[in-house]
Amino acid sequence: MADTTETTPNGRPPERTAPPGHSLIAHQVHGWCSKCPDVELWEELLAWRQRERARVDDAPFTDRAPEPSPEVTRHG
């Protein structure tokens, strides 16, 4: 599943083939990685977190309980 971003954090177009020494999976998914010029590690980490959050937000399940716990029912 590739992101549809037009540019990378360094303003260059995405490059889906990783140069030697770069992250293959990050290039396949984002089109860039933290080894690319003018891109920092935190930018790659943020991109992975945003991608994972979007994947979880689209999931058919929720993290909410279907009904209040017995403790909440007793104590309000």
Q: What does the pLDDT look like over 32-44, one tens digit per residue? A: 999 999 999 999 9
Q: CB-based burial of residue 32 (10 Å sphere; 0-12 exposed, 13-18 middle, 19+ buried)?
A: buried
In this prediction, residue 22 has a pLDDT band, given cuts at 50, 70 and 90, of very high
Q: Where are the domains of the chain?
A: 1-60
Answer yes or no: is pLDDT of 13 > 60. yes
Structure tokens at 59: 């999931």
- Residue 1: the pLDDT is 45
**CA–CA separation, 52 and 46 (whole Å):** 10
Report how far residue 33's alpha carbon sits from residue 22's, in angstroms, rounded to the nearest whole number.
7
pLDDT of the residue at 43:
95
User: Which has more confidence, 7 or 72?
Assistant: 72
Mean local confidence (pLDDT), 9-33: 92
pTM for this one? 0.64
